[in-house]
Amino acid sequence: MDELKIALVGCGMIGKQHIDRIQNRIKGATVVAVCDVFEAGAKAAAEIAGPGTKVYTDSAEAINDPDVNAVVVTTPGQFHKIPILQAIAAGKPVFTEKPLTNTAAECKEIVDAEMASGKHLVQVGFMRRYDRGYNQVKELIDDGKFGAPMILKCTHRADGVAEDYTTAMAVTDTAIHEIDVLPWLINDEWDEVQCIMPKTSSKAHAGLKDPQVMIMKTKTGIVTMLEVNVNCGFGYDINCEVVCENGVINLPCPSFPTVRFANNVSTKIEDNWILRFMDSYDVEIQDWVDHALKGETGGSSAWDGYVASITADALVASQTSGKAEKVVTGGTPDFYKK
Ligand SMILES: NC(=O)c1ccc[n+]([C@@H]2O[C@H](COP(=O)([O-])OP(=O)(O)OC[C@H]3O[C@@H](n4cnc5c(N)ncnc54)[C@H](O)[C@@H]3O)[C@@H](O)[C@H]2O)c1
Ligand SMILES: O[C@H]1[C@H](O)[C@@H](O)[C@H](O)[C@@H](O)[C@H]1O
């Protein structure tokens, strides 16, 4: 294969961004077909992709088009499973946006299908593994001079959320990023996780519990305290402080000037995830293309996506039990050992 000819399934917000990214900033890949259950949405996406782009409303037809040799899935999480399984059945590499799917049971079906195919075909879009800041923190931890990490203090704050955002989504849609990136960052695995509900913000819509505090402990005993706070009202504020034996490492954020003005010293906070992680998405998709052209996958595997969903299920259970819940994965199959 010398070029990926992609069918993109799910032409919503991030799907359209990935089309623009692939057509204009990524080497070695072109979107040749787009698919959305709403034909108007697919047609609008085809306009972004350019003349000659095929338009589908059925993912099986798009994925099995003989001109297509790779797939990008950008439907909402609860609709990821079917196009991913269709891509595996067709033997075509597939990049899916996070989460792999919304439940561990569905993720297991994907892992089983990929192992049965005998080929590594699935990469999950946990783009923080490609973020420059997280990579700089990882290099410092791996260097060893800071000693072992012991405590992680993280925030995942957003300006606000839509009315259909649920209490469980604070885990499955939002904290899922930290659930994936932190074990990668500190070379460890989750052991048990707990969700604690502080006083709910008056800005949260009816029925939504926000903020939430997630306490997550790894197998070697490192403890993470994660604040998910999606109605903070002041911007998209991602932080990660790693307290090690000999020092403290703080995640660098994209730099803005610090200004002194009107008796204040201040720095801008990014508005949203699109802007905060813009560069990471580009690096991530290019890395997927480079790997897929060699018959490989990079970044997070289907197994990583499955483990993230097992962890998310445990946190969601803790949202009602209030107790620490164990994360039980059964161990990494040889197929996924790196
Ligand atoms: N990595 C990130 O930071 C990031 C950011 C935003 C969204 N996402 C993820 O991207 C995915 C999409 O999010 P979004 O905000 O773009 O959603 P969206 O609702 O804007 O778009 C989803 C699109 O998929 C279409 N669709 C639904 N079911 C379909 C099916 N079976 N076949 C074809 N099309 C179908 C919908 O009609 C819609 O146009 C989600 O999994 C989300 O978690 C990731
Ligand atoms: O889909 C988005 C996206 O994954 C963002 O990176 C995350 O911060 C949001 O919480 C989530 O809703």
Over the stretch 199-211, which tens digit does the pLDDT of each residue have?
999 999 999 999 9
Evaluate: CB of 10 within 6 angstroms of ligand 1: yes
pLDDT per residue as tens digits for the range 220-276 = 999 999 999 999 999 999 999 999 999 999 999 888 999 999 999 999 999 999 999
Q: Ligand 1 centre and the CA of 13: distance in Å?
A: 7
Q: Ligand 1 pocket, 319 CB below 6 A?
A: no
b/e 206-241 (16+ beta carbons within 10 angstroms → b): eebbbbbebbbbbeeebebebbbbbbbeeebbbebe
* Predicted confidence (pLDDT) at residue 196 exceeds the cutoff of 90: yes
Q: Which ligand 1 atom sits closest to the C-alpha of 9?
A: 33
Task: Tell whether ligand 1 has an atom less than 6 A from the beta carbon of residue 4.
Answer: no
Mean pLDDT of the chain: 97
Number of neighbours of residue 166 by Cβ within 10 angstroms: 13
- Beta pairing class for 122-125 and 94-97: parallel
CA pair distance 112, 220, nearest whole angstrom = 29
**Is 1's pLDDT higher than 90?**
no
Question: What per-residue confidence (pLDDT) applies to 258?
Answer: 94
Give me the mean pLDDT over the 170-190 stretch.
98
Instruction: Verify cis geometry, omega within 30 degrees of 0, for the bond prior to 51.
Output: no
Residue 148 Cβ < 6 Å to ligand 1:
no
The ligand placed nearest to the CA atom of residue 127 is 1
pLDDT of residue 188: 98
Ligand 2 pocket at CB < 6 A: 158, 173-174, 177, 273
43 lines ligand 1 (CB under 6 A): no
What average pLDDT does range 310-336 have in this prediction? 97
CB of 273 within 6 A of ligand 1: the answer is: yes
Could you tell me the two tokens for 167?
């209490």
Give the mean model confidence (pLDDT) for residues 294-322: 98
* Residue 156 CB partners (closer than 8 Å, separation 6+): 174, 175, 177, 178, 226, 227, 228, 229, 238
Which sign, positive or negative, has the C-alpha torsion 185, 266, 282, 163? positive
Q: Record the pTM.
A: 0.97
* Residue 205 near residue 119, CB atoms below 8 Å: no
SS3 7: strand
Count CA atoms closer than 13 A to 228's CA, side-chain side. Answer: 28
pLDDT tens column, 37-56: 999 999 999 999 999 999 99
**What is the pLDDT at residue 338?**
81
SS3 191: strand
